[in-house]
Amino acid sequence: MSMKQRLSGIWLISMMLLSLFAYTVYFVAQMWLNLLQTLYLTLAILQVVTLILYLWGPEKLKSRGLKMVYRLLYASSFAVIPCFSFIFMGLISQYHVAIPDSIDAAAMPVEQILPAEQTVVYNTGRVYVIFPEYSEIALVCGNRPSKGDESITWCSGAAFQHDISLGFTHENIDGDHAVSGTLYISPYNKDSFSAFVYADGRFAFAFDNPSEAIREAADAGGSGFMQFGLIRDGETVMNISRPRARCYRTLAELNGNLCIIDSVHMMHFEDFMEELHRLGVTNAMYMDMGAGWNYSWYRNAHDRVVTLFGLPVPWSHNWVVFKK
């Protein structure tokens, strides 16, 4: 066997193992996009078939058609590394970075977890409670907010998007929303949504008639969007079942003040909710934290940008921003 044939064998064995590992990671991590799940499974099967043909002997293939099929199968092995890299980055993005300048609030009385003159972060050991400095809250659509904009103190993904699309349209955002006084009506069902609005210097959560709340915010020149309601007047209004731990986020009202609450580490949803209730969260809205959708950063008290989840996806097109 020539050196070239041996190297080809090593390459095909490596790519088969890597493709199977990639699909296993994708399946276990539940990065549920059916199209990608099919793609990774297909890629893994192709690598198994390619290796079998190699071990059987490509020279035994007599017809030109079969030889062409083998070459195409062999060529598919070069897609394994990019696909694995995508999964790896998506998986890594689900781990929250540590916030070293956070205040240790593990033993702090809940009523003392309050905003300050500048952005402040508390660490209860289970969640980060983030109070961004702000005088305005806006929904930004289309172009991702720049970290170079020194007025922004918090940025994260906001509303769900109905379809995965590289191009942006307001119709693709799930739920009615308002952008600096302009109202956009969603064509999709909104029965399970609540609304967060900010207008006239005040924030509000709306659970009974979220569409009307969005309309009123737009009429007042404000912004707002819809998401699943999580807690209403201290009571859980959303229950989801997750077979695994992950990082969670909520836009919440705590001690009468608006904040963002993130899990410190990957945890089960029930544990996250337990901590929210221990803190006494009054109202809260679920904020999706799936891989890529969890892109977020804030500007700390020293005016430096701290990136929490730094992997944006090109089909994410709307964000909530706090501005000082």
Asked whether residue 270 is domain-assigned, the answer is yes
pLDDT at 1 over 70: no
Task: Tell me if 193 sits within 8 A of 226, measured CB to CB.
Answer: yes
Domain match, 183 and 53 both: no
Domain match, 220 and 292 both: yes
Domain match, 108 and 166 both: yes
Asked whether residue 307 is domain-assigned, the answer is yes
Q: So what's the pLDDT on residue 94? A: 58
Q: What is the pLDDT of residues 248-299, one digit of tens each?
A: 999 999 999 999 999 998 888 899 999 999 999 999 999 877 666 788 999 9
pLDDT at 246 over 90: no
pLDDT at 95 over 80: no
Q: So what's the pLDDT on residue 244? A: 61
Asked whether residue 28 is domain-assigned, the answer is yes
Domain match, 48 and 117 both: no
pLDDT category at 92 given cuts 50, 70, 90 is low
Highest mean pLDDT among 6-15, 85-94, 131-140: 131-140
Domain match, 149 and 215 both: yes
Q: So what's the pLDDT on residue 209? A: 93
Q: How many helices (H) and strands (E) does the chain have?
A: 6, 17
Q: What is the pLDDT of residues 189-232, one digit of tens each?
A: 788 899 999 999 999 999 999 999 999 999 999 999 999 999 99
Domain end point (choices 52, 70, 92): 92
Token look-up 């190297």 returns: 7
Nearest Cα residue to 134 out of 153, 156, 115? 153
Domain match, 88 and 109 both: no
Domain match, 222 and 315 both: yes
Domain match, 139 and 219 both: yes
Token look-up 């995965």 returns: 164
Q: So what's the pLDDT on residue 189? A: 79
Neighbours of 247 (CB within 10 A): 21
What's the whole-number mean pLDDT along residues 17-38?
71
Domain match, 87 and 116 both: no
Q: What is the pLDDT of residues 33-69, one digit of tens each?
A: 556 678 888 889 999 999 998 888 877 877 888 889 8
Asked whether residue 183 is domain-assigned, the answer is yes
Asked whether residue 107 is domain-assigned, the answer is yes
Asked whether residue 98 is domain-assigned, the answer is no
pTM for the complete prediction?
Answer: 0.76
- 27, amino acid identity: F
Domain end point (choices 92, 119, 139): 92
Domain end point (choices 92, 115, 137): 92
Domain match, 222 and 317 both: yes
Task: Tell me if 157 sits within 8 A of 318, measured CB to CB.
Answer: yes
Using a pLDDT cut of 90, give the percent of the chain over it. Answer: 58
Domain match, 9 and 155 both: no
Q: So what's the pLDDT on residue 35? A: 63
E strand or H helix at 225: strand 223-232
Asked whether residue 23 is domain-assigned, the answer is yes
Range of the domain at 157: 103-323
pLDDT at 27 over 60: yes
Asked whether residue 274 is domain-assigned, the answer is yes
Q: So what's the pLDDT on residue 140? A: 96
CA max distance for the chain: 79
Neighbours of 177 (CB within 10 A): 27
Mean pLDDT, the chain, as a whole number? 88
Q: How many domains does the chain divide into?
A: 2
pLDDT at 6 over 80: yes
Please list, in sequence order, all residues whose beta carbon lies within 8 angstroms of the beta carbon of residue 55, skipping any fewer than 6 positions away: 9
C-alpha distances in Å from residue 5, one per residue of 10, 12, 55, 57, 71: 9, 11, 11, 11, 14
Using a pLDDT cut of 70, give the percent of the chain over it. Answer: 91
Q: So what's the pLDDT on residue 65? A: 84
Burial zone of 190 (CB within 10 Å; 0-12 exposed, 13-18 middle, 19+ buried)? middle
Which one has a higher pLDDT value, 309 or 112?
112
Q: So what's the pLDDT on residue 182? A: 97
- 202, amino acid identity: R
Q: What is the pLDDT of residues 106-126, one digit of tens each?
A: 999 999 999 999 999 999 999
pLDDT at 32 over 60: no
Nearest Cα residue to 316 out of 95, 99, 212, 167? 167
What's the whole-number mean pLDDT along residues 153-165?
89
Strands (E), 78-219: 103-104, 120-123, 127-131, 136-141, 152-157, 177-179, 182-184, 193-199, 202-206
Domain match, 164 and 302 both: yes
